Amino acid sequence: MSTNDETCCPRFNPDPWDGKTITWQGKRFVQDRVTSLFHIPLNYGAVMTRVEAAIRAAGAKLGAPVMLTDENSLWGADVFVEADKDVPGAKMVTISGTFMCKVFEGPYSRIGHWVEAMKAWLNSEGKRFSKLYFYYTTCPKCTKKYGKNYVVLLAQID
């Protein structure tokens, strides 16, 4: 975490993600749930604080963990925070598969457009997806400091 005017999130580099295909085999995550109202998160910060504290207490922290969101309901979303080992008391899951990734930049209000752009890109590549995750790369404070709001869409391809 940060002190004074430092940032808590490392500056995001889109190059390793944009237009790339990645494969994970048993990538470990802590899973939690955010309450939402029409996909607008109501307690995202509190959930991230709780998960971060559990990960830190277990000594399972990574330098720049991947944090995925599965927007699976108008009323909530599953969040997955990468951890390098099991976290006692937390729901642990593994994610495996092949994912095509695309980086977008701009305000969250553009997410609907980004999803459509992602679908069009996958279609142009002759691919279909079974699951779509959102990787919000920086917290709002760091987004403001860096002046960029990068969001990576990860489409699990069939």
Contact 58, 88 (CB under 8 A): yes
Q: Give 43-82 pLDDT, tens digit per residue.
A: 998 999 999 999 999 999 777 889 999 999 999 999 999 9
Contact 122, 157 (CB under 8 A): yes
Q: Is CATH 3.30.2310.20 the right assignment for the domain spanning 21-157?
A: no
Closest CA to 100 of 87, 119, 113: 119
Is the pTM higher than 0.75? The answer reads yes
Q: Give 7-21 pLDDT, tens digit per residue.
A: 588 899 999 999 999
Q: Give 21-50 pLDDT, tens digit per residue.
A: 999 999 999 999 999 998 888 999 899 999
Domain-wise residue ranges, the chain: 21-157
Q: Give 82-95 pLDDT, tens digit per residue.
A: 999 999 999 999 99
